[in-house]
Amino acid sequence: MKKAILLLLFSFTASWLYAQDITFKGSITDDAGKGVPFATVYVKGTNKGTSANSEGEYNLSIKAGTYDVLFKAVGYKQESRRIDLTRSQAVNISLKPELYELKEVAIRAGAEDPAYAIIRKAIKKRKSYLNEVDAYTCEVYIKGLQKLLAAPKKFLGVDIQKIARENGLDSNRRGIVYLSESQSKYSYMRPGQVHEEVISSKFSGSNRAFTFNRASDMRVNFYENLQNWEGLSARPLVSPIADNALSYYKYKWMGISIENGETINKILVMPRRESDPCFSGYIYVMEDTWRLHSVGLYLTKKANINFVDTLNVSQEFFPVNGKVWMPASIKFDFKGGFLGFKFAGYFISLYKDYDINPKLDKSQFAEVLRITKGVNKKDSAYWEQERPIPLTEEEKTDYQKKAVLAAKRESKPYLDSLDRVNNRLNPVKLLLSGYRYRNRYDKEYYNFDPILSSLLYNTVEGFAINYGASFTKQIDSANNRYFSIYGRARYGFSNKLFNANGGIVLPAGPVTLNLAGGSDVLDMNNRQPISTFVNTAYTLLDRRNLQKLYQKQYVSIAASTRISGGWLASASAEWANRKWLSNTANYSIFHPKNREFTSNNPLNPGLDVPLFPDNQSFKISARTSYNFSNKYETYPSGRRYLPSDYPTIGLNFTKAVKNVFGSDVDYSLLSADIAKDDIPVGLYGKTSFYISAGKFLNKNNLYYTDYRHFSGNETFFYKAGTNKFLLLDLYQYSTGDKYLEAHVEHNFLGLLMGKLPGIRKLKLQEVVDVNYLSTPTLKNYTELGIGLQSPAGLRIMYGVSFNNAGGTTNRAVRLAFGF
């Protein structure tokens, strides 16, 4: 009996022991004893693996047993150890530089390098490997770190030393400014369908913040012809094994090595031209299968990348089954500097537990990302158990220090003290940038406009002030929704006319309501093609009063909501009393020869006679739009819907009703539009377009302010945008009948400018515009514009317009400061 009990107890103990995860850890160093950063640890025959940290330290937990463990890093010879795991133990490894043999291939003088034959085979297999897996799931761990290496004590009057101290940096303004970790479950289905659920998230510096290290953002697939890394590079980057890669790259065979019975070719890749959007570095191609084994590539400023000076990307693959290889790790590390600031950092993602034959439902991919409450509340014990990359001592200290700072920053005394400092009224600030009073703890904000930008001049009001203020309060933290009250007062010192208006924005369930009313002086062209500032400048300095104004006293209510996915709808009702205004001022600083101000009647500029009589209107309007997308991201604060790859279509209807509240107008306007921005055209840039058409179904009674207006331009400065004209008269061609408006813009993203030495450093982008308008009085008006745009949005264009018969009507240069 005792023997049976002992045998049972032994069996239970053994089964319990082998069911537990046991940790082995150690350091991975090179011949000089220096840690090999982010070396890979992979358990052969499993999906288990990890990565060393930046100092070469690693740990890995796995169930008890005997395993062959592989230790590897790009550029080093793989080491293998058989480890018998019955208890936690330390395993330290030294990696030697990989030696690539050149003996097997003799390269004759003048002959093509052997690399080209290998690359051709890899290109031929590219598409099959791209489409090899229809769907898969896996778990992803992502870690990101950014460090400030140097910074000035002050920058543009800002005390950087103080900011650095408040954010836990040392006395030399150096240290970690960003540290985060996240774990996700990731699902993929061809073509390009992804779903990611964040399981845990940790961020240094705030107890409530979430990391946004998304697996989708870290996804790199060199089997795709182009790598679209938005923000980092304006132009797509050409893969070294793209279908047309031989036109962009030079290759050199560096030799072979043997790893786990596989022959691996090391190939040096170099851009053929310095200006091409290409990588430099090495790719490793497996013999016979011609698939990628790993890559070690980099980009520099020569490739016209943004934000950083150098970016390295490393990727390693491992076999999930006998045939399919999937990414084991992807790492970006970067360095950069700007105006005395120097920084460096990395992002690394590790993949495990692949399932390449999952049962997935297409409907689940409507939700692209899911982050729920509590994912950032995991304690240190959880992370000690789940973190695959051990923290360095510097990272441990940063987490501890920033946790103390975060708790302090979220406390009411700290937020109140911060508000007391920031809420001090500064007359200079009020004059130039406005004043904002904050109560961060209660999430209440008062905003007051800058005084300087509220001052204006026009020939209707003379010198005037148009000053506004608002109050905003968060009333629904779960869905990040706000209640706000806004108001504005306007007074013209020449015509002695005072106007005031305001409104309330109120969330009501899924609907947002906007109640507004008062009186205002408005542009007769409701597209507001010319800004108040530009009109003031032209009126005072060039004696050209371009903006034409009228007074509107009104009451309105509007409601907007999301019906479903990408389907939006809004409706409004407005009663208004509209008055034409005459000029009352004739002053200008300069008086160009023979130039006089025009009247406030844009259709009769020589006579100051009313364009329309005083009238009342009651209008009901509705709009619905659909962008063919049902995709969204879920956050603790609610859903964020994503734009579609397809155009957005819209339908609008306005009905003006006579004899309701004394309304004089009676018409119906039906219009439709279709638009899409930034349609990628590969290496040739991006195209945007906007097309709109409409018709007044009846025209029993309407006035000029009811017309369909267009975003014309008659000044050197203009508002850049897809639905803007370069040279069109501001008011002349507004219509009360029917119209067709079309705009196409293509940005070549530096296709030509990027090839010019010296100039390419400016990162200028070539822009071409074509604008078209047809109305009963303007049959076929066409504009052609060509110009350059800087990364900051500064744009200069040369435009030519053509009339009905094809003759040139106007040509001019235009400048835009932003979008």
Question: Beta-carbon neighbour count of residue 711 at 10 Å?
Answer: 20
Interval 173-182 mean pLDDT: 88
Strands 367-370 and 632-635: parallel
Distance (Å, rounded) from C-alpha 211 to C-alpha 140? 14
**What letter represents residue 623's amino acid?**
R
Distance (Å, rounded) from C-alpha 564 to C-alpha 127? 36
Both tokens of 220, joined, read 């790199």
Buried/exposed code over 320-352 (b: 16+ C-beta within 10 A; e: otherwise):
beeeebbbbbbbbbbebeeeeeebbbbbbbbbb
Interval 614-623 mean pLDDT: 98
- Among 299-303, 556-560, 606-610, 650-654, the minimum mean pLDDT is found in 299-303
**What letter represents residue 195's amino acid?**
H
* pLDDT band, very low/low/confident/very high, at 517 (cuts 50, 70, 90): very high
The pLDDT, as a whole number, for residue 3 is: 39
* pLDDT band, very low/low/confident/very high, at 655 (cuts 50, 70, 90): very high
| H helix intervals, 312-444 | 380-386, 393-409, 412-422, 427-432
In CATH, what class is 19-94?
A: mainly beta
The pLDDT, as a whole number, for residue 15 is: 35
The pLDDT, as a whole number, for residue 84 is: 86
Interval 500-509 mean pLDDT: 95
Strands 325-338 and 154-155: unpaired
Q: Where does residue 661 fall: left (phi above 0), alpha (psi -120 to 50 degrees), or beta otherwise? A: left
Each domain of the chain, given as residue ranges in start order, spans 19-94, 114-409, 665-819
Checking if the pLDDT of 561 tops 50, the result is yes
Residues with Cβ within 8 Å of 123's Cβ and at least 6 positions away in sequence, in order, are: 241, 242, 243, 245, 246
* CA distances, 305 to each of 309, 334, 501, 762 (Å): 8, 11, 47, 11
State pLDDT tens for residues 300-352: 988 888 888 899 999 999 888 778 999 999 999 999 888 888 889 999 999 99
Instruction: Output DSSP code: residue 706.
Output: G
Strand partners, 701: 666
- Among 221-225, 344-348, 447-451, the minimum mean pLDDT is found in 344-348
CB under 8 A, 24+ apart: contacts of 243-248: 243/123, 243/126, 245/119, 245/123, 246/116, 246/119, 246/120, 246/123, 247/272, 248/272, 248/273, 248/276, 248/278
Distance (Å, rounded) from C-alpha 458 to C-alpha 599? 12
Checking if the pLDDT of 818 tops 90, the result is no
Checking if the pLDDT of 18 tops 50, the result is no
- Among 258-267, 335-344, 453-462, 801-810, the minimum mean pLDDT is found in 801-810
Distance (Å, rounded) from C-alpha 469 to C-alpha 201? 39
* pLDDT band, very low/low/confident/very high, at 20 (cuts 50, 70, 90): low
Buried/exposed code over 614-625 (b: 16+ C-beta within 10 A; e: otherwise):
ebbbbbebebeb
> Which residue is it, tokens 């109640």?
515
The pLDDT, as a whole number, for residue 45 is: 77
Please give the model's pTM, rounded to 2 decimal places. Answer: 0.88
The pLDDT, as a whole number, for residue 618 is: 98
Checking if the pLDDT of 615 tops 80, the result is yes
State pLDDT tens for residues 574-586: 999 999 999 999 9
The pLDDT, as a whole number, for residue 819 is: 41
Residues with Cβ within 8 Å of 730's Cβ and at least 6 positions away in sequence, in order, are: 525, 529, 530, 546, 548, 602, 712, 713, 714
Buried/exposed code over 107-145 (b: 16+ C-beta within 10 A; e: otherwise):
eeeeeebbbbebbebbbebbeebeeebeebbbbbbbbbb
Distance (Å, rounded) from C-alpha 463 to C-alpha 455? 7
Checking if the pLDDT of 12 tops 70, the result is no
Both tokens of 327, joined, read 């990414």
Q: Where does residue 253 fall: left (phi above 0), alpha (psi -120 to 50 degrees), or beta otherwise? A: beta
* CA distances, 508 to each of 183, 209, 316 (Å): 36, 28, 51
Contact 548, 601 (CB under 8 A): yes
Does 158 or 277 have the greater pLDDT score?
A: 277
Interval 539-562 mean pLDDT: 97
Residues in the chain: 819
- Could you tell me how many helices (H) and strands (E) the chain has, helices first? 10, 43
Checking if the pLDDT of 105 tops 70, the result is no
Interval 86-115 mean pLDDT: 79
Both tokens of 68, joined, read 């062959």
The pLDDT, as a whole number, for residue 767 is: 97
The C-alpha angle with vertex 335 and arms to 333 and 341, in degrees rounded to 5, equals: 145
Interval 433-455 mean pLDDT: 91
| Percent of the chain with pLDDT strictly greater than 70 | 94
**Average pLDDT, whole number, for the chain?**
89
Q: Where does residue 459 fall: left (phi above 0), alpha (psi -120 to 50 degrees), or beta otherwise? A: alpha
Strands 237-238 and 226-227: antiparallel
The pLDDT, as a whole number, for residue 108 is: 63
The pLDDT, as a whole number, for residue 2 is: 37
